């Protein structure tokens, strides 16, 4: 087996709100979305439609958002489990100090920026659906 890509698929209650949150706070762009009718793929949201799925991208990272009802139908092992995760999605980024300050100014749920014993500057953020995002950058040598 050869693994060529890993893309998190987040279970969410509201696809549009989740997309807006990731656009506004992290600069992700909407790539495609699927309306509740599941009869096609769209590149933008229509005001008068509900959506069950969206794909977003920033740089080399893609993420999916899937509404709870269809997520639990597709991912049967998630049935009976709450939204959120006991896992963090850890991302290497550039410009962590400035990014951390931007997240604090927006009053998002963030931890302090700290230097770890393994040589990274990192912090964690809890998103609007309860998912934990980790952001890290190699610490400058002193």
Helices (H) and strands (E) in the chain, counts: 3, 9
Q: How do residues 112-142 score in pLDDT, each as one tens digit? A: 999 998 899 999 999 999 999 999 999 886 5
CA–CA dist 106, 118 (Å, integer) = 29
Q: Is the CATH number of domain 84-142 3.40.1260.10?
A: no
In degrees, rounded to 5, the angle at the alpha carbon of residue 21 between the alpha carbons of residues 39 and 107 is 165
Which CATH superfamily includes the segment(s) 1-82? 2,3-Dihydroxybiphenyl 1,2-Dioxygenase, domain 1 (3.10.180.10)
Token pair of 126 as six digits: 């809890």
pTM, two decimals, is 0.88
Q: So where are the chain's domains?
A: 1-82, 84-142
Q: How do residues 4-13 score in pLDDT, each as one tens digit? A: 888 999 999 9
CA–CA dist 105, 2 (Å, integer) = 42
Would you give the distance in Å from CA 134 to the centre of its chain?
A: 10
């Amino acid at each position: 087996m050869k693994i060529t890509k890993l893309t998190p698929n987040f279970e969410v209650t509201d696809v549009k709100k989740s997309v807006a949150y990731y656009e506004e706070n992290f600069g992700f762009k909407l790539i495609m979305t699927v309306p509740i009718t599941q009869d096609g793929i769209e590149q933008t949201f229509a005001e008068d439609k509900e959506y069950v799925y969206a794909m977003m991208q920033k740089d080399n990272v893609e993420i999916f958002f899937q509404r709870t009802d269809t997520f639990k139908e597709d991912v049967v092992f998630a049935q009976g489990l709450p939204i959120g995760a006991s896992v963090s999605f850890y991302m290497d980024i550039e410009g962590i100090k400035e990014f951390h300050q931007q997240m604090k100014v927006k009053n998002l749920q963030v931890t302090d920026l700290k230097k770890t014993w393994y040589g990274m500057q990192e912090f964690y953020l809890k998103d609007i659906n309860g998912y934990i995002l980790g952001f890290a950058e190699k610490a400058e040598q002193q």
